[in-house]
A and B are shown apart, each in its own frame.
Chain A
Amino acid sequence: MKRRNFIKKTALGSLTAAVGTDIVFGSMIPNGYLPLALQDPDPFTLFNKDKGMEVLNDKPWNIEAKAHLLDDKVTPNKYMFIRNNGLIPEEINISNWTLTIDGEAVKAKKTYTLAELQSKFKSYTYQLTIECGGNGRSEFDPPAKGNQWTVGAVSCAEWTGVRLRDVLEDVGITDKAVYIGYHAADVHLSRDPKKEPISRGAPMAKALQDETLIAFKMNGQDIPLAHGYPLRLVAGGWPASVSGKWLTRISVRDRVHDGTKMTGDAYRVPCNPVAPGEKVKDEDMCIIESMPVKSLITYPRSGAMIKEGQKLNIRGHAWAGELEVQKMEYSIDFGSSWQPCVIEKAANRLAWQHFSASIAFPKKGYYEVWARATDANGTGQPMLLPGWNPKGYLNNACHRIAIKVT
């Protein structure tokens, strides 16, 4: 059923128009959200999100988790952040959904149906950390433009799909290949059909990694609509914008992909460090690749009060883009001394690692527990904000929670 017809048939049509939430009800149909969506057009119901999630933006939808909601080892849908650049596709028909591989560096353009992708290539399942490049933006001073993410624009779900490498091998790519760029079915905010909301990509080295998937399942089920149903590129450890949702086409380029949000200052940071607030020319901005080392305390929730003598057990996750997290520490004295946490090995490359510690406090009072991860190159998280950049990317400053011993 078309969305237009659908709205015509309901008195709520005029109400949604009045509310100004131009949500695409029709697109809910494939995942069976429809009846709920009509009765209750709130995003938690629409997207099956926990009520504790924070809506930053409703057009386009941008919703983040809070640290304590990310306690699961594998992030379930209800706690997974949504970062949309455009409007969710309005009609999704999986029986005629196709993926086309084209571009300057393919031997010949080739198109696959969903069924062909799934039957022709072997499927793989990995836990992959996906973090928005702008996670932590809200802390920058002077403030940076965009959605003001705090700490919750990160997830590590289990993705199942075929390797992009296997598909590219089947198509045949030439030695001119430099970069892949994705194209998708989402709609530009201005509804201009000639504009793409976002079309990013990655260099061939990343595209050809084992863990770079064309995914059709998340946590063992169809990918939820807001996360890219029915097909999503997933490139763990890189800014989440590389993991294009509602995937319809991948271009193998003979140059760095120049799609929407690849150029200018989007998903770029100054090639050389700048002072806070400094103007940076476009040509001095460099594309973000692997995300920096970072960690989150997911238990307990900030604000816990414990009795004197009671030990505090903390736990959380740490990740480091392409790298492994080598060391995890905590401090209860604002970094004057650091104590080790137990850090587990990753389930697979590019999955976040789980840490835990048991903390004893010397006396009553207010404390902050700060967590610091260090990657395999020996680079650790800063306690202060890292280098200022115009768009407020890559804030990997230590996470902390407040504790009172009474």
Chain B
Amino acid sequence: MEDQDKFKSQVSSIYRLLTTLMVLFAITALAIVYLISDPTLSFFKDPVPAAEYVSVETEDDFDKIENGIHVRTGFKDAEGLMTVVNNCTNCHSSRLVIQNRMNEERWIATIRWMQETQNLWDLGKNEAIIVNYLVTNYPPQKKGRREILRNISWYELKE
């Protein structure tokens, strides 16, 4: 009877040992399979922000003003700025606007020309805001028949 009990307990301890080994084997196998499919263990880490998110910072100061200048376009920060940005920089660069100096009549004529030939939309109430911004901030300058030479950067010329 004693031998029989001893035998039973031996069998059950071998059984427990084998079960533990089986479980350990199964866990190891699963771990190996997981490592093959995800060698960087990225599942357990915080998701890395994708590169696209970096540009969100750019979006934040998309309409940044620095020293009175709207950085993205170069326009002067004054009444009507964003109306000008939103209506006048879709097709062409702000540079084309800034380098042109016109009075109210000629700006309006230019807007009509853009509406007739360049697919510019009806500006409605914004037209007065835009024209006022332009003639106030970029008025024509008198140049006469020939200007003096300006902004000369002097340098020594050795022959």
Q: What is A's interface to B at a CB cutoff of 8 Å?
A: 11, 14-15, 18-20, 55-60, 139-143, 145-148, 189-190, 192, 195, 300-306, 310-313, 368, 383-385, 397, 400, 402, 404
Contact = CB atoms under 8 A, between A and B. Distances in A.
A19 B52 CA distance: 15
Chain B binding surface, main DSSP class: loop
A55 B95 contact: yes
B157 A305 contact: yes
B92 A304 contact: no
| Closest 8 pairs between A and B when the two form their complex, measured CB to CB | A11-B51, A304-B157, A141-B143, A190-B119, A59-B93, A189-B91, A14-B55, A148-B99
Contacts of A58: 93, 95
B6 interface: no
Contacts of B54: 11
Nearest to B101: A143
Interface in B82-117: 89, 91-93, 95-96, 99-102, 106, 110
B55 A18 contact: yes
Nearest to A403: B157
A402 B149 contact: yes
B153 interface: yes
A5 B59 CA distance: 22
Q: Provide the main secondary structure of the chain A interface.
A: loop
Contacts of A300: 157
A9 B124 CA distance: 40
A118 B62 CA distance: 49
Nearest to B144: A141
A20 B89 CA distance: 9
Given A14-B58, A189-B91, A304-B157, 16 more contacts: A14-B55, A20-B89, A56-B99, A57-B96, A139-B143, A141-B145, A145-B100, A147-B99, A190-B91, A302-B152, A304-B154, A305-B155, A305-B156, A306-B157, A385-B146, A397-B146
B159 A139 contact: no
B154 A404 contact: yes
B158 to A, nearest CB: 9
